Amino acid sequence: MATVTSFSVITTGYAVLALIADAMVLLVVMGFLLTRTSAASREQWTRFRDGMTPFALHLAWVVAMLATLGSLYLSQIAGDYPCEFCWFQRICMYPLTLLLGIAAFRGDLQIAKRYFITLPVVGAILAIYHYQLEHVTNEPHGNCGPISCSAPLFNIFGFISVPFFSMAAFLLIITLLLVARSHSDDEDDSIDADDADSTAVDTTLPATA
Protein backbone atom coordinates (compact mmCIF):
# COMPACT_ATOMS: atom_id res chain seq x y z
CA MET A 1 0.00 0.00 0.00
CA ALA A 2 1.36 3.44 -0.97
CA THR A 3 2.52 5.62 1.88
CA VAL A 4 0.64 8.90 2.21
CA THR A 5 3.06 11.70 3.07
CA SER A 6 2.45 15.27 4.14
CA PHE A 7 3.93 16.37 0.80
CA SER A 8 1.36 14.39 -1.19
CA VAL A 9 -1.49 15.58 1.04
CA ILE A 10 -0.52 19.25 0.72
CA THR A 11 0.19 19.16 -3.02
CA THR A 12 -3.02 17.24 -3.71
CA GLY A 13 -4.94 19.75 -1.60
CA TYR A 14 -3.46 22.59 -3.62
CA ALA A 15 -4.30 20.73 -6.83
CA VAL A 16 -7.95 20.55 -5.78
CA LEU A 17 -7.91 24.26 -4.91
CA ALA A 18 -6.39 25.04 -8.32
CA LEU A 19 -9.16 23.11 -10.06
CA ILE A 20 -11.78 24.95 -8.01
CA ALA A 21 -10.14 28.27 -8.90
CA ASP A 22 -10.17 27.42 -12.62
CA ALA A 23 -13.82 26.35 -12.40
CA MET A 24 -14.71 29.68 -10.75
CA VAL A 25 -12.89 31.62 -13.46
CA LEU A 26 -14.63 29.63 -16.18
CA LEU A 27 -18.08 30.17 -14.63
CA VAL A 28 -17.48 33.91 -14.35
CA VAL A 29 -16.33 34.13 -17.97
CA MET A 30 -19.39 32.18 -19.11
CA GLY A 31 -21.64 34.42 -17.02
CA PHE A 32 -20.10 37.51 -18.57
CA LEU A 33 -20.59 36.14 -22.10
CA LEU A 34 -24.25 35.44 -21.31
CA THR A 35 -24.75 39.13 -20.52
CA ARG A 36 -24.35 39.80 -24.24
CA THR A 37 -27.50 37.78 -24.98
CA SER A 38 -30.30 39.53 -23.07
CA ALA A 39 -31.20 42.34 -20.69
CA ALA A 40 -32.23 39.81 -18.03
CA SER A 41 -28.76 38.26 -18.15
CA ARG A 42 -27.19 41.68 -17.74
CA GLU A 43 -29.38 42.36 -14.74
CA GLN A 44 -28.37 39.06 -13.14
CA TRP A 45 -24.71 39.83 -13.88
CA THR A 46 -25.05 43.20 -12.15
CA ARG A 47 -26.59 41.56 -9.08
CA PHE A 48 -23.78 39.00 -9.05
CA ARG A 49 -21.14 41.73 -9.17
CA ASP A 50 -22.89 43.66 -6.43
CA GLY A 51 -22.93 40.54 -4.26
CA MET A 52 -19.26 39.75 -4.91
CA THR A 53 -17.90 43.26 -4.48
CA PRO A 54 -17.73 43.33 -0.63
CA PHE A 55 -15.72 40.08 -0.59
CA ALA A 56 -13.71 40.12 -3.84
CA LEU A 57 -10.69 42.05 -2.59
CA HIS A 58 -10.40 39.97 0.57
CA LEU A 59 -10.73 36.74 -1.42
CA ALA A 60 -8.04 37.90 -3.84
CA TRP A 61 -5.74 38.56 -0.88
CA VAL A 62 -6.47 35.08 0.54
CA VAL A 63 -5.64 33.51 -2.84
CA ALA A 64 -2.33 35.40 -2.99
CA MET A 65 -1.53 34.39 0.58
CA LEU A 66 -2.26 30.70 -0.04
CA ALA A 67 -0.18 30.74 -3.22
CA THR A 68 2.73 32.37 -1.39
CA LEU A 69 2.56 29.90 1.50
CA GLY A 70 2.40 27.01 -0.96
CA SER A 71 5.48 28.15 -2.84
CA LEU A 72 7.40 28.68 0.40
CA TYR A 73 6.42 25.20 1.54
CA LEU A 74 7.75 23.65 -1.66
CA SER A 75 11.11 25.41 -1.48
CA GLN A 76 11.75 25.83 2.23
CA ILE A 77 10.17 22.68 3.69
CA ALA A 78 9.82 20.14 0.88
CA GLY A 79 13.23 21.11 -0.52
CA ASP A 80 12.11 21.60 -4.12
CA TYR A 81 14.31 24.45 -5.35
CA PRO A 82 12.40 26.73 -7.78
CA CYS A 83 13.50 27.11 -11.37
CA GLU A 84 14.03 30.49 -13.03
CA PHE A 85 10.47 30.81 -14.30
CA CYS A 86 9.17 29.91 -10.83
CA TRP A 87 11.21 32.79 -9.42
CA PHE A 88 9.70 35.20 -11.94
CA GLN A 89 6.21 34.08 -10.93
CA ARG A 90 7.11 34.52 -7.26
CA ILE A 91 8.22 38.07 -8.01
CA CYS A 92 4.70 38.73 -9.27
CA MET A 93 2.89 36.85 -6.49
CA TYR A 94 4.74 37.76 -3.30
CA PRO A 95 4.09 41.53 -3.43
CA LEU A 96 0.37 40.83 -3.92
CA THR A 97 0.15 39.34 -0.42
CA LEU A 98 1.15 42.74 0.98
CA LEU A 99 -0.48 45.05 -1.57
CA LEU A 100 -3.84 43.27 -1.67
CA GLY A 101 -3.76 42.89 2.11
CA ILE A 102 -3.33 46.65 2.56
CA ALA A 103 -5.99 47.39 -0.07
CA ALA A 104 -8.42 44.95 1.57
CA PHE A 105 -7.77 46.47 5.01
CA ARG A 106 -8.37 49.98 3.65
CA GLY A 107 -11.26 48.88 1.43
CA ASP A 108 -9.56 50.56 -1.54
CA LEU A 109 -10.80 48.49 -4.46
CA GLN A 110 -10.23 51.18 -7.08
CA ILE A 111 -6.50 51.41 -6.31
CA ALA A 112 -6.19 47.61 -6.45
CA LYS A 113 -7.91 47.43 -9.84
CA ARG A 114 -5.98 50.31 -11.32
CA TYR A 115 -2.44 49.70 -10.08
CA PHE A 116 -2.09 46.16 -8.72
CA ILE A 117 -3.74 44.13 -11.49
CA THR A 118 -0.61 44.33 -13.65
CA LEU A 119 1.22 41.89 -11.37
CA PRO A 120 -1.25 38.99 -11.71
CA VAL A 121 -1.58 39.62 -15.46
CA VAL A 122 2.18 39.34 -15.98
CA GLY A 123 2.33 36.39 -13.59
CA ALA A 124 -0.43 34.56 -15.46
CA ILE A 125 1.39 35.03 -18.78
CA LEU A 126 4.59 33.67 -17.27
CA ALA A 127 2.76 30.72 -15.69
CA ILE A 128 0.99 29.82 -18.94
CA TYR A 129 4.27 29.93 -20.85
CA HIS A 130 6.01 27.88 -18.14
CA TYR A 131 3.20 25.30 -18.16
CA GLN A 132 3.41 24.85 -21.92
CA LEU A 133 7.17 24.38 -21.59
CA GLU A 134 6.47 21.43 -19.29
CA HIS A 135 3.52 19.83 -21.05
CA VAL A 136 3.39 21.00 -24.67
CA THR A 137 6.66 21.89 -26.36
CA ASN A 138 9.35 20.53 -24.02
CA GLU A 139 11.68 23.02 -25.70
CA PRO A 140 15.41 22.52 -25.10
CA HIS A 141 15.84 26.12 -23.90
CA GLY A 142 13.53 25.20 -21.01
CA ASN A 143 16.71 24.33 -19.09
CA CYS A 144 17.20 27.70 -17.41
CA GLY A 145 19.83 27.69 -14.71
CA PRO A 146 20.61 24.72 -12.45
CA ILE A 147 16.95 23.62 -12.35
CA SER A 148 15.11 22.61 -15.53
CA CYS A 149 12.06 24.72 -16.36
CA SER A 150 10.65 22.07 -18.69
CA ALA A 151 10.77 19.16 -16.22
CA PRO A 152 7.82 19.30 -13.77
CA LEU A 153 8.54 18.52 -10.13
CA PHE A 154 5.32 16.50 -10.03
CA ASN A 155 2.17 15.88 -12.05
CA ILE A 156 -0.88 15.52 -9.84
CA PHE A 157 -3.82 13.87 -11.63
CA GLY A 158 -1.48 13.61 -14.61
CA PHE A 159 -1.45 17.31 -15.57
CA ILE A 160 -1.27 19.61 -12.53
CA SER A 161 2.20 20.97 -11.79
CA VAL A 162 3.64 24.03 -10.04
CA PRO A 163 2.97 26.53 -12.89
CA PHE A 164 -0.60 25.21 -13.03
CA PHE A 165 -0.95 26.21 -9.36
CA SER A 166 0.31 29.75 -9.97
CA MET A 167 -1.66 30.10 -13.21
CA ALA A 168 -4.89 29.23 -11.39
CA ALA A 169 -4.09 31.66 -8.58
CA PHE A 170 -3.21 34.54 -10.90
CA LEU A 171 -6.30 34.02 -13.07
CA LEU A 172 -8.59 33.91 -10.05
CA ILE A 173 -7.06 37.10 -8.61
CA ILE A 174 -7.56 38.85 -11.96
CA THR A 175 -11.15 37.62 -12.14
CA LEU A 176 -11.99 38.74 -8.61
CA LEU A 177 -10.54 42.21 -9.19
CA LEU A 178 -12.37 42.65 -12.50
CA VAL A 179 -15.71 41.36 -11.20
CA ALA A 180 -15.76 43.68 -8.18
CA ARG A 181 -17.46 47.03 -8.79
CA SER A 182 -15.42 50.13 -7.92
CA HIS A 183 -16.58 53.76 -7.90
CA SER A 184 -15.28 54.24 -11.44
CA ASP A 185 -17.41 51.30 -12.62
CA ASP A 186 -20.49 52.86 -11.05
CA GLU A 187 -19.75 56.16 -12.79
CA ASP A 188 -19.34 54.39 -16.13
CA ASP A 189 -22.65 52.56 -15.62
CA SER A 190 -24.43 55.83 -14.81
CA ILE A 191 -22.97 57.46 -17.94
CA ASP A 192 -24.11 54.51 -20.06
CA ALA A 193 -27.58 54.70 -18.52
CA ASP A 194 -27.79 58.46 -19.24
CA ASP A 195 -26.71 57.88 -22.85
CA ALA A 196 -29.35 55.17 -23.23
CA ASP A 197 -32.02 57.49 -21.82
CA SER A 198 -31.02 60.36 -24.12
CA THR A 199 -31.10 58.03 -27.11
CA ALA A 200 -34.58 56.86 -26.18
CA VAL A 201 -35.77 60.49 -25.90
CA ASP A 202 -34.26 61.39 -29.27
CA THR A 203 -36.05 58.54 -31.01
CA THR A 204 -39.40 59.74 -29.66
CA LEU A 205 -39.00 63.30 -30.96
CA PRO A 206 -40.90 64.00 -34.19
CA ALA A 207 -38.85 64.66 -37.28
CA THR A 208 -38.76 68.30 -38.36
CA ALA A 209 -38.61 69.59 -41.92
In single-letter form, the type of residue at position 29 comes to: V
Mean pLDDT for 40-49 is 92
Nearest CA to 63 out of 8, 124, 135 is that of: 124
Distances (CA, A) of 207 to 201, 202, 203: 13, 10, 9
Mean pLDDT for 34-58 is 92
Nearest CA to 170 out of 103, 102, 108, 94 is that of: 94
% helix, strand, coil for the chain, step of 5 = 80, 5, 20
| pTM for the predicted model, two decimal places | 0.84
Domain parsing of the chain, residue ranges: 6-180
Helix/strand/coil for 206: coil
Nearest CA to 63 out of 97, 89, 98 is that of: 97
CA 33 to chain centre: 18
pLDDT in tens, 153-192: 899 999 999 999 999 999 999 999 999 987 666 555 544 4
* CB-based contact 83:144 (threshold 8 Å): yes
* Range picked from 25-29, 32-36, 79-83, 133-137 for highest mean pLDDT: 25-29
pLDDT of residue 200: 45
On the question of pLDDT at 197 being above 50, the answer is: no
pLDDT of residue 208: 44
End-to-end CA distance of the chain: 90
**Pairwise CA distance, residues 159 & 207, whole Å:** 64
Higher-confidence residue of 70 and 4: namely 70
pLDDT in tens, 63-122: 999 999 999 999 999 988 888 899 999 999 999 999 999 999 999 999 999 999 999 999
* CB-based contact 128:99 (threshold 8 Å): no
pLDDT of residue 136: 83
Side-chain-side CA neighbours of residue 104 (13 Å): 22
pLDDT in tens, 20-29: 999 999 999 9
Higher-confidence residue of 206 and 98: namely 98
